[in-house]
Amino acid sequence: MGRIRYILDKVFLLLVTLGTAMPVLATGLIAGSSIYWSFKALLSEGMGLFIKPPGMPGGSEIGGLGPVILNTIFITGLAITFAAPLGVVVGVYLSENRNGKLSKIVSQAVQMISEMPTIVIGLFVFSVVCLPLGGYSMLAGAVSLAIAALPYIVTQVRETLMSIPSTYREAAYSLGLPRWKTVWFLLVPMSKSGVASAIMLGYMKALGETAPVLLTAGFALYGFYGLLGPSNTVSLLIYKFAQTPYDNYRILAWTASAILLLGSLSLSYLVRRVVGEVRYA
């Protein structure tokens, strides 16, 4: 009896080790191929990889990701300029009016946005922004990325502000500070690293999301066409180029995925570091 139990335990250990190994292997393959192909591209193109446009489809030249990176910086930057003020104000409001009726409704709304399949956001922006403006544009892409990033910012800001003990608020009120001053000149500066991490989290989402820009941003490969012109993001490039049969485009897709991984992981590292530091009382 005892022997069987120990054998069963060893079998179980083997099974769970395999279960752990599978996702580890998958992420290892993702990281490994991204690094391998991006190094290969870097060796053949040098710094041109970050400046030149992609080469001809199926050609021998790999080309670069210059215009795509530029477009990504602008479109995600624009998205976060829309989402950050909105998200911070709403997050602050939700933290300071925990039991209000309006606050419950708004918090439900934020929840709903975060649950929405991101393609639905894309479709919404497609019909609200793209159709009236008559085409794909950076503005539309930025709006849909902002909507996708918004709930993460709101939730993180709310959690950060909620973790401040109410004694700080009481002290401020007892000094006669109005509520908005208490919040904006005391609580928000106190938790500025938390707010910063919320914005970084939102930026990370804006960087990684593909479905919202798929229907809104267009696919500009060779240049920068301004606010109302077509744009592009690194994640969109991965989506489109990975599905082409051309080797040089696939290499570029893996390079883009290396860039995206580097961005996402370093942002999530920062978020984790910063959130870990925030402690009150």
Partner 1 sequence: MTIVLYHYIRVIGQRKMNIHDDLNLLSLPFLVIVLAIVVGVFLVLLANSMTTFTREGINFLIGSNWSPSSETYQILPALTGTFYTSVIAVLLALPISLGLVAFTYEYMPITIRETIKSSLYYAAAIPTVVYGIWGLEFVVPAVRKFIEFWGLTASPTGQSILAGAIVLAFMNIPYMSLIISEVYGKIPFTYIEAMHSLGALGYERLRIKYGMVKGAVLGASLLVFGKCVGETTAVSMVVGNSFNLALSPLMPGITISSLIVNYVSETSLYNYMTGALFAAALVMLVSSSLFILLGMWVARRLVIGGGEWGG
Among 20, 58, 61, 175, binds partner 1 (CB under 8 A): 20
With contacts defined by CB under 8 A, name the span among 55-63, 70-78, 94-102, 163-171 that binds partner 1: 94-102
Helix, strand, or coil (residue 191): coil
Q: Shortest approach of partner 1 to residue 86 CB, angstroms?
A: 5
Distance CA 237, CA 63 (A): 14
CB count in 10 Å sphere of residue 106: 16
Task: Please tell me whether residue 95 binds partner 1 under the rule CB under 8 A.
Answer: no
Helix, strand, or coil (residue 85): helix
Distance CA 182, CA 14 (A): 57
Which residues from 209-248 bind partner 1, rule CB under 8 A? Answer: 209-211, 214-215, 235, 238-239, 242-243
Task: Please tell me whether residue 193 binds partner 1 under the rule CB under 8 A.
Answer: no
Distance CA 250, CA 28 (A): 19
Which residues from 69-88 bind partner 1, rule CB under 8 A? Answer: 85-86
Task: Please tell me whether residue 105 binds partner 1 under the rule CB under 8 A.
Answer: yes
Task: Please tell me whether residue 99 binds partner 1 under the rule CB under 8 A.
Answer: no
Nearer to partner 1, 144 or 194 (CB): 144
Binding residue count for partner 1, defined by CB under 8 A: 80
With contacts defined by CB under 8 A, name the span among 30-38, 40-48, 50-58, 157-165 that binds partner 1: 30-38
Closest CA to 206 of 93, 269, 107, 121: 121
CA 187, 107, 115, 71: dihedral to nearest 10 degrees?
Answer: -50
Among 229, 250, 270, 278, binds partner 1 (CB under 8 A): 250
Task: Please tell me whether residue 36 binds partner 1 under the rule CB under 8 A.
Answer: no
Nearer to partner 1, 45 or 96 (CB): 96
Q: Shortest approach of partner 1 to residue 266 CB, angstroms?
A: 10
Q: How far apart are the first and last CA of the chain?
A: 54
Nearer to partner 1, 49 or 260 (CB): 260
User: From residue 175, how far is each of 93, 161, 167 by CA, in Å?
Assistant: 21, 20, 12
Helix, strand, or coil (residue 54): strand
Task: Please tell me whether residue 167 binds partner 1 under the rule CB under 8 A.
Answer: no
